[in-house]
Amino acid sequence: MALHRLTRVTIGVPAVAETVGYYTEFGLEHLGGGAFASRDGGEQLRIVPARTRRLVELGVGCDDRDDVARIAARLERRGLPRTVRDDTLTAVEPVVGFEVTVAVAPRLAQSPAPTPPYNGPGRVERRGRAPGVLRTAAVRPRRLGHAVVGTVDLATTVAFFVDVLGFRVSDHIGTRGAFLRCSTDHHNVLALAAPVNFLHHTSWQVDDVDDVGRGAKAMLEADPARHVWGLGRHHAGSNFFWYLKDPAGNFSEYYADMDVIGEDETWTPEVFEGAQGLFDWGPPPPPSFLEPDDLAALMTGLHASGR
């Protein structure tokens, strides 16, 4: 696959300062001016002012200028606007309205985290306390993993990512969602049918399930109202998860242990119905996860702003 990762996400929010404070506590490195870096991915988040919370831009990395040229040609054939400068292409997703920037970027090589020893029936891998309960350093996300967007026209959004940008379909949630990948991760974008276009959440990789729990614990000790859903394990993607809510209403996820789909591997997408598409174990998702509390306000605000 010529595409190989998400490079960054830009989120628009009404209250920038409060949201910057949240993602600083979340463990991303604040570079100043609303920009944040993950441990391995460099600058991967930007917070900018907006009338209502929304996804402003999604960055995608590709291997070379030929990849950029092929995407530009597909946009031209469909009569979709695009801007190409050297090794960077910018287009606008036609339904939700966020920019997608495809740029030549190096493939990300991550140093492996130490594999913690786990004891089990008849298997003693570790004597003494588990390393996960002895960690004291603050959790810092390794990289941006995926973004989830609600769209009022699921078919058009999916076609843009797959037929134009070159993403691949990993799995479906009935007729209401599609897991899409631009890397070997099970998904980098999840597009969901929704009554209004909006950003549902961004997801950030940490070392393991202990860091999923430790990160959430620290965030909830500071403000219990941040809790949304977790701890659990998804079925599609298999990753451990815990979701929290930023001051603007966007969800942010700590995740670990995502399924990997090899670039040359044959993969047959499955269709999951009901709860199976959301989680394998853990507490059931609250109604506010499936339909965020501010959807009606978003519909009103976006209509008033003309977007």
The answer to whether residue 102 sits within a structural domain is yes
Q: Which domain holds residue 64?
A: 3-107+140-299
Q: Give the mean model confidence (pLDDT) for residues 224-238.
A: 97
Number of other CB atoms surrounding residue 132 within 10 Å: 15
How much is the pLDDT for 302? 56
**Entry pTM:** 0.95
The answer to whether residue 221 sits within a structural domain is yes
The answer to whether residue 133 sits within a structural domain is no
The answer to whether residue 115 sits within a structural domain is no
Looking up residue 88, the CATH number of its domain turns out to be 3.10.180.10
The answer to whether residue 305 sits within a structural domain is no
- Pair of tokens at residue 51: 């009338």
Q: What is residue 152's three-state secondary structure?
A: coil
46-94: per-residue pLDDT in tens? 999 999 999 999 999 999 999 999 999 999 999 999 999 999 999 999 9
Task: Say how many domains are in the chain.
Answer: 1
The answer to whether residue 144 sits within a structural domain is yes
Q: Give the mean model confidence (pLDDT) for residues 16-28.
A: 98
The answer to whether residue 134 sits within a structural domain is no
Helix (H) or strand (E) run with residue 90 in it? strand 88-92
Which among 221, 240, 218 is positioned nearest to 229, based on CA atoms?
A: 240
Q: How sure is the predictor about 11, in pLDDT bands with cuts at 50, 70 and 90?
A: very high
Q: Is 265 exposed, middle or buried (0-12, 13-18, 19+ CB in 10 A)?
A: exposed
Which among 220, 151, 219, 192 is positioned nearest to 289, based on CA atoms?
A: 192
The answer to whether residue 122 sits within a structural domain is no
The residues, ordered by sequence, that sit 6+ positions from 287 with a Cβ below 8 Å of its Cβ are none
